Amino acid sequence: MEMVDIELAKAVAQALKRAQKKGALPHFELPETIPIERPKQGELGDFATPVCMQLARFARMAPVRIAEAVVQHLPELPFLASAEVAHPGFINFRLSESWLTAQVEEILAQPESFGSVQLGTGRVQVEFVSANPTGPLHMGSARNAALGDAIASLLEAAGYQVEREYYINDAGSRMQAFYETLYARYAQALGRDEPVPEEGYHGAYMVRLGEEIARECGPRFLKMPREEAIREIGALGLKKVIAQAKEDLALMGIHYDNWFSEQSLYTNGQFDRVMTLLRERGYLDFHDGAVWFKATLLGGPKDEVIVRSDGTPGYFASDIAYHYNKFIERGFDRVIDVWGADHQGHVPRMKAMMKALGLDPERLVIILYQLVTLKRRGEIVRLSKRTGDIITLREVVEEVGADAMRYFLLSRSADSQMDFDIELAKEQSEENPVYYIQYAHARICSILRHAKGMSFDDGDVSLLTSEPELALIRQMIRLPEVVRLAARQLAPHHLAYYAYELAAAFHAFYRDCRVVSSEPGDEAITKARLKLVSACRIVLARALGLMGMSAPEVM
């Protein structure tokens, strides 16, 4: 069966047609989609539709009268207990308690896949983090990492074939500045007076990297011609920075299917092929000594430089060649790029680029995320406690843990600025949402260990009729809806909210209902409740897993 809201939408559409056919409603064109919502107040029902108010001007009838006609002509639905008309024209739907309790068995039957939905089957690439390999990853990259990985997991749960990719920006002037800085720091570590370039990287991490290479390699680079030495030490430094990024991201549980080199776009010919294609299609212009992409012909706000007047390709040149590679050479159906909000101005030119390549711009989605403000006891943290330098991803994840890092970074929508409170993330109390959610899972595992030796396969879930039990089931069955919503919107924060609400429903149930009872006559309800908490454990673990978090059995 499809999800309840989809079935309800079909049933309402069917009821409207029946009412028109029988003369209870006049003929008017029915909407393509019937909105089905979850009322914020549970006493109004499990679902509701405002469609009758939307149809009033077409039917020239009061919304309440339309709603009454719809309710009278609804087909029978096995999951529905009632459909009630409410002013000014809502229809409120209540789920059948017997159907609700039966969902416990449905969840137990699909422990690995409950919550998965089928939105599509195409190949999707999610490209995220992709920081310049000129130093360690910082907290901005951490938010990018948590978002990109969770989006990829959601799309996998929605039926897509997903590949995670890290784009290594190892071409261009910033890399040359990195190489020259590293050579200077290496030379300084060996006692030579070598100035750091003015446009270079002045962080303490470059001093440490130069000293590390000096220890490992000795003075051999000082014996080479300077340009050759810069090139070789640069390649070694690049390799070390990428290896460090892989290690740091692994601390968050993040792994990629592919690490793609920007420089390969030039050495493997994609850039030349794209330039030829754009020239043939009339999208290149040559003036002021530079090569320009005529984005204005394709809806962009201004033309963009592709090749600078000194003959070096600009960042946009790589962007075009890279997306040519993604869509045309590797054949992804859809590409999602996760970028910082400072790239907002780049979005229009990326859409123009898609048109120039003959591709539907809708196939490229760019997620822009806002900055993270790191706080400790309410005070903004600006510098690393260890080094007095930038605050790295590694430093924070080692202090608060990967699970807390991920949850807090996912707990707000990407377009919201957020505060990350280090002390709250470490706290082991109900004040910390990560602890609160994971403790629900650990508590269920403790209950099941306590009941070890008691078989409850024959438990009768129809006995689960109390309000705390039904409230918990209502939350449990929401997971597929949340996955669908979050996957469609590419918005993992919906999962974070849901996991907290599910944990709250479990804790309330646990407070009000004894699960394992040795009292005479309680064996049947004990078995039913053991089934319920087993199913809840599955749903909690699934929600945590989609966010990339662990589901601990002991806390």
Average pLDDT on 354-366 reads 97
Any residues with CB less than 8 A from the CB of 27 and at least 6 apart, and which?
Answer: 20
Report residue 521's pLDDT band, with 50, 70 and 90 as the boundaries.
confident
Is residue 231 within 8 A of residue 176, CB to CB? The reply is no
- Sign of the dihedral defined by the CA atoms of residues 222, 225, 231, 235, in that order: negative
For 423-471, what is each residue's pLDDT tens digit? 999 999 989 999 999 999 999 999 999 998 789 999 999 999 999 999 9
For every residue of 30-64, DSSP letters joined together read: PPSS---B--SSGGG-SEEE-HHHHHHHHHTS-HH
The pLDDT of residue 193 is 92
Asked whether residue 388 carries a pLDDT value surpassing 70, the answer given is no
Here the tokens at position 470 are: 């039904």
For 265-321, what is each residue's pLDDT tens digit? 999 999 999 999 999 999 999 998 999 999 999 988 899 999 999 888 988 999 999
pTM of the model: 0.94
The pLDDT of residue 290 is 94
For 45-101, what is each residue's pLDDT tens digit? 999 999 999 999 999 999 999 999 999 999 999 999 999 999 999 999 999 999 999
Q: What is the set of domains in the chain, with CATH numbers?
A: 4-95 (3.30.1360.70), 123-169+258-369 (3.40.50.620), 173-241 (no CATH), 373-426 (no CATH), 431-546 (1.10.730.10)
Placement of tokens 């430093």 in the chain: 395
Average pLDDT on 36-42 reads 84
Any residues with CB less than 8 A from the CB of 130 and at least 6 apart, and which?
Answer: 144, 166, 167, 168, 169
Work out the end-to-end distance of the chain between its first and last CA atoms, rounded to an integer number of angstroms. Answer: 37
Nearest to 553 by CA among 363, 540, 384: 540
Is residue 444 within 8 A of residue 541, CB to CB? The reply is no
Beta-carbon-side half-sphere exposure of residue 228 (alpha carbons within 13 Å): 6
For 187-219, what is each residue's pLDDT tens digit? 999 999 999 999 999 889 999 999 999 999 999
Rounded distance, CA 397 to CA 99, Å? 43
- Based on DSSP, count helices (H) and strands (E) in the chain, helices before strands: 20, 14
Asked whether residue 40 carries a pLDDT value surpassing 90, the answer given is no
Indicate the range of 124-128, 236-240, 312-316, 456-460 predicted with least confidence.
312-316
Report residue 385's pLDDT band, with 50, 70 and 90 as the boundaries.
low
- Number of Cβ atoms within 10 Å of the Cβ of 75: 12
The pLDDT of residue 386 is 62
Average pLDDT on 403-428 reads 95
Any residues with CB less than 8 A from the CB of 404 and at least 6 apart, and which?
Answer: 425, 426, 432, 434
Query: Which amino acid appears at position 449 of this protein?
Result: R
Asked whether residue 234 carries a pLDDT value surpassing 90, the answer given is yes
The pLDDT of residue 404 is 97
Report residue 242's pLDDT band, with 50, 70 and 90 as the boundaries.
very high
- Number of Cβ atoms within 10 Å of the Cβ of 431: 9
For 5-28, what is each residue's pLDDT tens digit? 999 999 999 999 999 999 999 999
Is residue 97 within 8 A of residue 470, CB to CB? The reply is yes
Indicate the range of 77-86, 310-319, 363-372, 377-386 predicted with least confidence.
377-386
- Number of Cβ atoms within 10 Å of the Cβ of 508: 15
Report residue 172's pLDDT band, with 50, 70 and 90 as the boundaries.
confident
- Number of Cβ atoms within 10 Å of the Cβ of 326: 23
275 by DSSP, 3-state: which?
Answer: helix
Rounded distance, CA 169 to CA 260, Å? 9
Asked whether residue 1 carries a pLDDT value surpassing 70, the answer given is no
Rounded distance, CA 173 to CA 541, Å? 46
Q: String of b and e for 473-507 (b: at least 16 CB within 10 Å)?
A: bbbbbbbbbbbbbbbeebbbbbbbebbbebbbbbb
Indicate the range of 127-131, 258-262, 314-318 predicted with least confidence.
314-318
Here the tokens at position 75 are: 């087909």
Q: Over the chain, what is the mean pLDDT?
A: 94
Write out the H or E segment, with its range, that includes residue 304: strand 304-307
The pLDDT of residue 167 is 97
For 477-491, what is each residue's pLDDT tens digit? 999 999 999 999 999
Angle at the Cα of 279 from the Cα atoms of 278 and 281, rounded to 5 degrees: 65
Here the tokens at position 189 are: 């570590």
Nearest to 147 by CA among 426, 367, 335: 367
